Amino acid sequence: MKTLMFPGQGSQYKGMGKELFDRYPSETARASAILGYDIKKLCLEDPEKKLNNTEFTQPALYVVNSLGYREFLKNDSAPDFLIGHSLGEYNALQASGVFDFETGLKLVKKRGKLMAAAKNGGMAVVLGCDIETIKKILHKGYHEKTDIANYNTPSQTVLSGPVDGISEVLKDFENEGIKVVPLNVSAAFHSRYMDNASQLFRSFLDQFEFFPMQIPVISNKNATRYDEKDAKRTLSDQISHSVLWTDTILYLLNKGVTHFEEIGGQFLTKMVTEVKTVYDKNIIKQNWIQKKRRLFLLPFAGGNRYSYQFLQPYLEDFEWVPLELPGRGKRHKESLLDSFYDAMGDIYRQISTEIDTEHDVIYGHSLGAILGHWVTYRLEKAGKNPARLIVSGVPRPTIIDTDALKVLHQLPQKEFAERLIAMGGMPQTFIDNHTFFEYAEPILRADFKLLDSVSNYNGSRIKTPITAIMGTKETYAHKIEEWRNYSHGDIEFHHLEGGHFFINDHPETLSKLISKSL
């Protein structure tokens, strides 16, 4: 079985397509008309030094790849599968008959323009380092603003994020003796920072008609065959999601593909050789089979990324993804939020580009549980359902005792502290530590104020299965089954001995409930 591959951005060079333009004058002329400039002159002469500019690179590669495919078909039969690296996926889809040459070029022209408009981002390639080590270094250095853009090979990974974040990442990897090379780009491609470009491109896609695939195409985003019903969403999501190239090659190897051929070069072929070598030695398996589920942990009032650390020893089967809101922890320099909807939007942005649909899990206690419900609702609307939502400390995704909350975040300091102690979330020793309390008080007041802002909202139902857990001594422990009113999916209930912060007393049991529910 044979797979044909199309390279993407990074494989361009002055002189590419030299043997093709004169052989296909009609296609070359149509391309120049659509683009508004001489595509042959750009690729062969590049007089204005634009070939490495994303807005021009992407259409140029698409045209050269497309002409290269026409040349390929003169001497070879159609392949069994088609794949393309990032931009190259458009050539794979065109070769499969999803759209014609002109439509594909219009799409790529728009894509290149949108991606070129993104600014203040950077990328870097990590060489000679496995993915688990990379993730550990990112976690250890609290590089939560950095995304993994490309899983190219077991020893070549591309990182993406804001310029300042990438600069810090470079230092950490260099300190570990790991080779990392910054890339000459102006934006954080294939990361959450391309969400706006992805959304704009999705709207643009709606004006075009897609046709059934004649040859299976394996997507960068999912490393599985394109779902034709969802092709436009997959293509727009590709802009802001990781390129799962290693998994794509592993998927095809497991399908029995023995021959990989590349249009126009050896850029992808070298990657495939490395993946095949490791595959043949049975060292790695597909990430979509082997990788751990991620557990996204949403903060309770006053909490930060460390709030759930007591659970970590009991949940080693999960990859740990603790989140925090602005104004605390690693985000202490950011302004606090006192609107629930701003907080929900912040958490949603952190999760939406990372979550593996129907694979990863969301857990939140108290405020985190309410945020979890609303974030899950938004994820479902975007087609990104988590595998399960686990909630504790509240009987529904709104606050019952509204008046008490209003009083709470407005109370004088002494009464405010007393109420916190009574709730069980703040030991007396913390209150007595004036330095700590001066730091924590504004955070807690902001969190209780944002809780109040959602107190009268009627919650919408979600489809994601729910596990709900409450302490036996909580005021509304008996109302736990109200969660049924907010879910169309499977739901289960549990009570553990204790008050509102019962979770601190039952880390092992709570962890077992989380694992068992899956």
* Residues acting as catalytic residues: 86, 190
Q: In which element (H, E) is residue 467 found? A: strand 466-471
Contact 302, 326 (CB under 8 A): no
Q: How many angstroms separate the CA atoms of 5 and 220, rounded? A: 12
Task: In the chain, count H helices and then E strands.
Answer: 19, 13
Query: CA 468: distance to chain centroid?
Result: 26
The DSSP annotation for 313-375 comes to: GG-TTEEEEE---TTSGGGTTSPP---HHHHHHHHHHHHHTT--TTT-EEEEETHHHHHHHHH
State the burial class of residue 149 (Cβ atoms within 10 Å of its Cβ: 0-12, 13-18, 19+). buried
Which has the closest alpha carbon to 291: 333, 251, 249, 319?
A: 319
CA–CA dist 451, 281 (Å, integer): 54
Encoding tokens for residue 408? 């709470």
Backbone angles phi, psi at 371, to 5 degrees: -60, -40
* Residue 290 exposed, middle or buried by CB count within 10 Å (0-12, 13-18, 19+): exposed
CA distance 362 to 517: 12
CA 264 to chain CA mean position, Å: 31
Residue 332 makes CB contacts below 8 A (sequence gap 6+) with none
Tokens of 415: 């009464």
Q: How far apart, in whole angstroms, are the C-alpha atoms of residue 507 and residue 74?
A: 65
Residues 6+ apart with CB under 8 A from 178: 126, 127, 128, 129, 133, 137
Q: Which stretch of DSSP H or E encloses residue 81?
A: strand 81-84
Q: How far is CA 109 from CA 16, 18, 101, 106, 204, in A?
A: 18, 21, 12, 5, 11
Question: Is the CB of residue 489 less than 8 Å from the CB of residue 463?
Answer: yes
Q: What's the CA gap between 369 and 198, in Å, rounded? A: 29
CB neighbours of residue 184 within 10 Å: 8
> For residue 293, what is the enclosing H or E element?
strand 293-298
